[in-house]
Chain A
């Protein structure tokens, strides 16, 4: 059984640019959640996708958006990058409301 995978592993962008992060969910999982983890802090919920629809959103501005595809993989898009967007972005997949399993994360640095 393949676990959750994310790409790329690392990314460097400059302020104002746009970025797309990708996540492949674990086999059999239909729900993907995205989290932002700043250095030394716990992960913060960005949003969740269930069957290609957004199903819950945290306190993040609209420039954070996402998609889920028919194969349940997902993308996180961030527009107009700010320095504070520098963080580890984590994707987690689950079967509906069950336990979330995390991928290795994408480290984003905004200069």
Chain B
């Protein structure tokens, strides 16, 4: 069964203090690894998809990277508006029924001014 573990559970940063979030996964066949951002009481907002080890994607202050066993979400010079829960998910392999995503527990990020 696919498993996703995110660390740390919570992260408090000062504005401008860069940091990284970790997503470790075990899957029978990785089809895609997804990062989402979720604000309190709202649905997850899509950020990135990574498909193969070595791949990197960037968007504003966020950069996602992928290895064979984990993914990192780097937040460079964060601002208070980057405060949110960041969710990592893996997509079921091609031979599995459905397009299910298996999520980690998320990392709650608080950026203080």
Residues of A within 8 A of B (CB): 4, 6, 31, 33, 35, 40-45, 47-48, 50, 55-58, 88, 90, 92, 94, 96-97, 99-105, 107
Contact = CB atoms under 8 A, between A and B. Distances in A.
A88 B101 CA distance: 16
Contacts, number: 74
A102 B41 CA distance: 13
Interface string B76-92: 00000000000101011
B59 interface: no
Contact of B99 (A40, A44, A94): A94
B45 A102 contact: yes
B100 A99 contact: no
The A interface, classified by DSSP as helix, strand, loop or mixed, is strand
Given A41-B105, A42-B105, A90 B100 contact: no
A42 B106 contact: yes
Interface residues of B, number: 27
Interface string B18-33: 0000000000000100
A97 B99 contact: yes
A43 B106 CA distance: 10
B99 A48 contact: yes
Contact of A56 (B31, B98, B103): B98
B43 interface: yes
A95 to B, nearest CB: 10
Contacts of A104: 42-43
A33 B89 CA distance: 14
A43 B100 contact: no
B104 A42 contact: yes
